[in-house]
Structure 1
C-alpha cells in the first residue's frame, strides 16, 4: 500500500499509470527491499512490547509506531526525484 502511494507520487498522481507499472519486477525491486527493515525493526520492538505490563504496551507501541513512520518515509522515498 505504501509503495503504491510513493509510486503515485512518482508517476504524477495518475491511477492508470500505477496500474500499468504494478508488476512482479516492481514488487521485487520496491516492496521486497522494504520488508527486511520492517522485520528488523518490528521483531525486537514486539518482543520488548509484549514483555511490558499491559498499561505500558499501548504508549510504547505508539512511540515505536511514530518512529517507524518517520523511518519508513525516508526508506520509501529513497530514489524519488527531489523537488526544486
Structure 2
C-alpha cells in the first residue's frame, strides 16, 4: 500500500508556505548584513584610525552590493506572498 503523500502534487497553500519561508530567510540575511555594517561602523568610530575607516568603506561597498542583489529577489517574493495570502483562503 503506497502512501498518498508520495504522489501528491503541491497545492497553492504549500507553495505559498515555501515562499513565506524564503522571504523570512532573505529578510534575516538582510538584517544580519545591516548588523555587520553597523558593527564595523561602530568599531571604526571607536578606533578612529584610517585602518578601520578602510575596513568600513570596503564593508559598505560589499554589503551594499549584496543587499542590492538581495532586494532584487526579496521584493518580488514579498509581493507574491502578500498577494497570495489575500487570494488563497487556506494560507
Scaled by the length of structure 2, the TM-score of the pair is 0.38
Scaled by the length of structure 1, the TM-score of the pair is 0.40
Q: Larger Cα Rg: Structure 1 or Structure 2?
A: 2
